[in-house]
Structure 1
Amino acid sequence: MLSRMCVARSAFNVGHTLKTPIPKNFVPKNYVIRNYAREPRSRVAAQQPTASLWARLMAPAGPNAFSLGKGALAGASAMSLAALCYYGSGVKPGVCTEAHLWPKYVKDRIKATYGYIAGSIALTAGSAYTVFRTPALLNLVARNGWMSIIVTLGLMIGSGMVVRGMDYTPGFGAKQLAWMVHTGIMGAVIAPMCFLGGAVLTRAAWYTAGVVGGLSTIAICAPSGEFLNMRAPLAMGLGAVFAASLASMFVPQTTALGAGLYSLSLYGGLIVFGGFLLYDTQAIVKRAELHPMYGLKPYDPINSAISVYLDIINIFMRIAIILSGGGGNKRK
């Protein structure tokens, strides 16, 4: 009411307005203009109810649903480049500067560990290709449903626990056989990714090699133990990524909540496993240095290799999904 009175102030004063009745057919021009500009806006706002939080979360995902994940990944990439330049410049003495002081058995341990890492990747690739070319096996691993998911998780986790729990003996023995079975199961699990096409998988392999090489270089150039304090934050991040992966199975990815969970699982997982690669690389060096040469149990390169191997597999899978357009990169 006060705003309407102020709008008509140029036509007559306040006292005249309150005492004199306004003719029915008299409407000032400026009153009509201001009322036309303001009144419909207030009425439309009043007619639209405020959407609940659940309705907003279940609303269709917008075009910028993956922007937060992409921004976090870009920030992590920038930090990695800065760390590579910082540690590579030699400001602090890194692991590589101490390598010439290692005794021969430490070098042999690190060499054996990375030999098992390379063998794990080769066995996984061969297993994935074999399963993809065998329709009966591919039908088993590509099935949907809770039973298939439970069996797959059980085989992966169970075979990994068996390998880690066995004692290592040099040469070819039971632990080496269990390691081959475990890598074969991992290859069978990721075999359906071959449907993405050879071009996408080849690019993903090259990108993974670049990421792994760059992060490994950072870990080697950094001081010994620089990233070994990251275990607790990385474990928390892994828990969040795992929870998001499970929750995204129940929420459609076309909704805002589902797209956010999927973005956390995809881009957040890529960042977390990149951090684990830094940690596990320096952990390999630390174990090779500290494990006694004549201890009760020999140094176990297989257990040290499995951690880095799983980091590489997770990084490769996420890069392949992003390149295929599953991370909001579909070209229009």
Structure 2
Amino acid sequence: MAFFLRRPFAITATLKQVPRASSTSLRAFHTTPLKRSANFFISKPVASPLSKSHNVFRATFRRNYMQPASPAVDSQTLRQRLLYGAGIFGATLVGINLIFNRETRTDGGMPQYERSYLNDTFLHTGLGIGIIGVAARALHMNGWSYRLMAANPWVVLGVGLVGSIGTMYGAMATNPENYIQKYALWGAFNVTQAMLLSPLMFLQPALLARAGLYTAGMMGSIAFVGATAKQEKYLYLGGPLLAGVAIVALSGLAPLVIPTTAARTLMWTENIWLYGGLAVFGGFTLYDVQKILHHARLAERGLIKKDPVNESISLELDFINIFVRMVQILGMSQNRRK
């Protein structure tokens, strides 16, 4: 049930700016209507529906995310930015460790079987995220993103959920000894995520790279805390995090029922969806890492089978949900500096 609730939010964020092939711009989730340009009513040759959808989509994203090309940055400024980013990352890591990791393991450190299980899970997680990135890029270059954005968003959301949840539960239900079926379903799950997230390729590569770097840094810091903390210290977070996911879900669906005139309410729901979602899925990362170590101890005693593929799916979902929110936050930050 937790996976069912966690996955739709990334899909909703990805398809926030869905255009339609018409001359009227509709309001997307948490987005104000587009401003009409001065030459909006100038007569132009009739274009195909796909071309119209593409133009509307590009105009929509240009308002929220796309910015004019920035001037070249000299090496000194680049070094300063890198040092500034490294300092923030280091301070965040130290702060998280001091706040949430006051009680470390008392069993002499992580045993070899737990370390091996955790490393296998991280390997599958990185491989899965790499598959999603490569597949999303390939689909975008082949025109999939244009067709996806021109389609009915509710149909895309419904079919995407069925494909995503179906392949996910299929992979998790497959015996780990059945390698072919296990990895085939896992690969199909990753490709499904790529199909849904491919419209992000319309954004600036620098923006996506920064979001990916920040997501990796955030998850890496939290995973370090979960791996070195006292055994099963954060496993109690499962219930509260599930409740938090429900709140984030409702805030994401709020624009469907709240009128556009309630601007302040919509602003609050957007903040809950963005920053509350970051907190919730950061907590899920901490919970999932401790759950992986718990499963490693059970597998060592022969109570369950070792299955790093299933464990990696949880971390992949955490990464996707955090990454999508990072993209939106960075895009909003660029828009404010415009």
TM-score, with normalisation over the residues of structure 2?
0.66
Q: How far apart are the structure 2 equivalents of 1:190 and 1:151?
A: 14
Task: Kindly indicate whether the alpha-carbon contact (under 8 Å) linking 2:96 and 2:221 is maintained by their aligned counterparts in 1.
Answer: no
Question: Does the aligned pair in 2 maintain the 1:270–1:315 contact within 8 Å?
Answer: yes
Match in the other structure for 2:283: 275
Q: Does structure 1 retain, via aligned residues, the 8 Å contact 2:96–2:222?
A: no
Deviation at 1:245, TM superposition (A): 1.3
Distance 1:157-1:203 versus aligned 2 partners, 3 A rule: same
Larger CA deviation: 238-247 vs 255-264: 255-264
CA contact (8 A) 1:94 1:220 kept: no
Which residue does 1:110 correspond to in 2?
118
**1:218 corresponds to 2:225:** yes
The worse-fitting range, judged by mean Cα deviation, of 229-238 and 79-88 is: 79-88
**Structure (1 or 2) with the larger CA radius of gyration:** 1
How far the C-alpha of 1:179 sits from its partner, in A, is 0.2
User: Any conservation in 2 of the 1:248–1:262 contact (CA below 8 Å)?
Assistant: no
Q: Does 1:85 align with 2:91?
A: no
> Aligned partners of 1:190, 1:147: CA distance in 2, in Å?
15
User: Aligned runs of 1:67-146 on 2, under 5 Å?
Assistant: 82-86=95-99, 92-94=103-105, 97-99=108-110, 102=111, 104-135=112-143, 137-142=144-149, 143-146=151-154
- 2:29 aligned partner: none
Q: 1:1-332 to 2 correspondence within 5 Å? A: 82-86=95-99, 92-94=103-105, 97-99=108-110, 102=111, 104-135=112-143, 137-142=144-149, 143-169=151-177, 172-251=179-258, 255-292=263-300, 294=302, 298-325=305-332, 330-332=336-338
CA–CA distance in 2 between the matches of 1:95 and 1:184? 41
**1:152-210 CA deviation, whole Å, 9 max, x = no partner?**
2221122211111111127x411111001101110111111112210100111111111
- For structure 2, the 5+ residue unaligned runs are 1-31, 33-90
Cα root mean square deviation, aligned = 2.6
Provide, for residues 56-88 of structure 1, a one-character-per-residue CA deviation record: whole Å limited to 9, x for no partner. xxxx9xxxxxxxxxxxxxxxxx99854412566
> How many Å apart are 1:235 and its aligned residue?
0.4
Matches of 2:146 and 2:141, distance apart in 1? 11
- Contact 1:96-1:220 within 8 A present in 2 as well: no
Q: Distance in 1 between matches of 2:323 and 2:107?
A: 26
Structure 1 position 277, deviation (Å): 0.4
**1:269-328, Cα deviation, whole Å (9 max, x unpaired):** 111000000000111111011225545x63111111111111011111100111011x79
SS of match in other structure, 1:320: helix
How many angstroms does 1:140 deviate by? 3.7
What's the TM-score, normalizing by structure 1?
Answer: 0.68
Find the aligned partners of 2:260 and 2:230 in 1 and give their Cα distance.
42
Counterpart-to-counterpart distance in 1, 2:272 and 2:232: 28
Letter in 2 for 1:285: L
Quote how far apart the aligned CAs of 1:232 are.
Answer: 0.8
Q: Percent identity?
A: 28
Unpaired segments ≥5 residues, structure 1: 1-59, 61-77
**Residue aligned with 1:177, SS:** helix
Give the Cα separation in 2 of the matches to 1:233 and 1:79: 24
1:218 CA displacement: 1.5
Size of the aligned set, in residue pairs, is: 247
Deviation per residue, 1:241-267 (Å, 9 max, x gap): 112112234446772222222221111
